[in-house]
């Protein structure tokens, strides 16, 4: 990407420099690539890369931006928090790196 090219991921709601950096480290550099991702897989991969669990709100962010990349419309990360918490209560949320 040229320095003046617009970063389509950074332009998404919920994506600031930190999340954009995480996506870059995960090898996700376009909306098309993001649309093919799974929030569970991204959350586990970034945790493995960093050797620690991240705040679960990062999963919420991944879920929101993947939803938008798939054409789901503008959704804020906290709208996915109830879904994550329900999955956590059922033991369906990733718990191992």
pLDDT in tens, 33-79: 999 999 999 999 999 999 999 999 999 999 999 999 999 999 999 99
pLDDT confidence of residue 16: 96
Residue 69: inside a domain: yes
Residue 97: inside a domain: no
Q: How many Å apart are CA 3 and CA 21, to the nearest integer?
A: 16
Residue 25: inside a domain: yes
Q: Residue 55 region, left (φ>0) first, then alpha (ψ -120 to 50), else beta?
A: beta
Does residue 2 have a pLDDT over 90? no
Closest CA to 54 of 33, 76, 26: 26
Range of the domain at 70: 17-89
Closest CA to 65 of 27, 12, 21: 12
The tally of domains found in the chain comes to 1
Closest CA to 70 of 39, 36, 43, 26: 36
pLDDT digits (tens, 9 = 90+) for 18-29: 999 999 999 999
pTM here?
A: 0.92
């Amino acid at each position: 990407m040229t320095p003046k090219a617009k970063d389509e991921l950074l332009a998404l709601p919920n994506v600031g420099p930190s999340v954009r950096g995480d996506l870059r480290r995960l090898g996700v550099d376009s909306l098309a690539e993001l649309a093919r991702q799974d929030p569970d897989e991204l959350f586990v991969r970034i945790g493995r890369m960093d050797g620690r669990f991240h705040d679960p709100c990062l999963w919420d962010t991944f879920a929101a931006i993947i939803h938008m990349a798939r054409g789901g419309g503008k959704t804020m990360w906290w709208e996915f928090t109830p879904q994550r918490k329900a999955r956590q209560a059922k033991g369906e949320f990733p718990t191992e790196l």
